[in-house]
Structure 1
């Protein structure tokens, strides 16, 4: 398969080591591109929910693919998030083409791009971490159940359904949090004179222009690889929101493979409940 050359790719919220992670799909995507720069914008490995009993080969293959890209010339930046905050002790470390940092400022064709995960805006992460961790575990199993339901819907020729998106849309506080998150990031970018502000964290992919009397900035969110399966791509002075479901080369699903995977994950879930 011929690989697409891309100047910059930003992915976030992969959550390797959790049941909800779509590692196989991410590996397929990474295998189709040849980026000059790859930014891993936080929560790539979910250290909060890391279990010795669950880190399958498909997750390891994603790690290997990222390292392969670095060895072949791609500049890789791993920006820390809240679920992989333990890596912050290694911030500013450099290993060849692989760097670890908390935030990043890039020059893109003469414009400033400010990139960071975004958990700094989330009060629950800093003041009630145990609640955030408990919510993360519940979200992981909700996604696992959702995948089972969507597998059944797909076999019946029905469109997939998202439990978490339905919940977010129906809870006014969640809708307001997302809106406030975007506006806060844009306000700081406008104050600092940045042309682009790029985040993750909230699992809501988006590209939107924000402006006021101070000027104009573009807010971008790379989404996640739990539900949305999205990434940000910058090429030839333009941003694009990549969606795995719209990729004609990759969106075909092997339902027998998915059935086996769901069976293994549900078995792991049963063991977890017994313990």
Structure 2
């Protein structure tokens, strides 16, 4: 399978070491891309619920794959989260192409992206960590029950169903928490002059522009690999939410944002990079040949409208 070359990929909330983790699907996704940078935006390993009794080989393969990508030239930036917070004692440590950080600011084509996990906004974690951990165990149990439920549905030929999504969408306090989380992150990003703010933590993939009296920014959330199986991808100066269940057979360029671009904008976004002089000469030469061929076709009345 030919790998898709992209500028940046962001994944979060993989929760390796739990029953809900979709490690095989994540490996398939990572095998399909060749990013210049891979951002691991927190909760990759669920240290809170880590158990020697459950850490299957597929979960180890994910770690091996990530290390392998780093060894082959991909810059891997591990942004720590709440459930892998033990890694925060190693913040700013570098090992080859792998670096551990608590937060990150990147320059993307002249725009600033502020990247962090998002647990800093979670009051339950800040004030009562034991309660947050208890909730994590309950969530893991719910996911385990949901897996059995979906296995039964698949045997009956019916579509998968997410119990946790249903509960979140049906509880007003959960919806308010998510909305407050997103607004707080966006407001802080605008206040500090960031064009993008990129989070994880709440398992809700999203891409939305926020505005207030001080300006605007784009809020992005990479979702998770427990329920949604999503990632963020940046290429051609555009952000895309990648959905494994829908996009795994689709190339990046079918993104709706790119469909809406005219050809000149698309060419400009692709070629807006520093090329070697030899490469520029080759492109110019081929462009002239194409123009000559088109003129010949016009003279013969064969050019398409």
TM-score (norm 2): 0.81
Q: Secondary structure at the match of 1:2?
A: coil
Q: Secondary structure at the match of 1:181?
A: helix
Unaligned stretches of 5+ in structure 1?
Answer: 251-275
Partner of 1:104: 104
Q: What are the superposed Cα offsets for residues 153-191 of structure 1, whole Å, 9 maximum, x if unpaired?
A: 122221111110111111111000000000000000000
Q: Secondary structure at the match of 1:31?
A: helix
Q: Does 1:198 align with 2:235?
A: no
1:126-205 alignment, distance < 5 Å: 126-205=126-205
Q: CA deviation at 1:247?
A: 2.6
Distance in 2 between the 1:141 and 1:247 partners?
28
Partner of 1:18: 18
The answer (yes or no) to whether the contact 2:187–2:212 under 8 Å persists in 1 is no
Partner of 2:278: none
Runs of 4+ in 1 over 3 A off after TM superposition: none
Unaligned stretches of 5+ in structure 2?
Answer: 251-305
Q: CA deviation at 1:107?
A: 0.3
Distance in 1 between the 2:133 and 2:172 partners?
22
Partner of 2:81: 81
Distance in 2 between the 1:18 and 1:40 partners?
17
Q: How many residues align?
A: 250
Structure with bigger RCO (C-alpha 8 Å, 6+ apart): 1
1:15-94 alignment, distance < 5 Å: 15-94=15-94
Distance in 1 between the 2:242 and 2:146 partners?
23
Q: Does 1:245 align with 2:207?
A: no
Partner of 2:125: 125
Larger Rg: 2
In 2 relative to 1, CA 152–202 (structure 1 residues): closer, same or farther, beyond 3 Å?
same
Q: CA deviation at 1:18?
A: 0.5
1:257-268 alignment, distance < 5 Å: none
Q: CA deviation at 1:249?
A: 3.5
TM-score (norm 1): 0.90
Distance in 2 between the 1:212 and 1:48 partners?
37
Distance in 2 between the 1:171 and 1:125 partners?
20
Distance in 2 between the 1:234 and 1:32 partners?
15
Distance in 2 between the 1:152 and 1:27 partners?
25
Q: Secondary structure at the match of 2:166?
A: helix
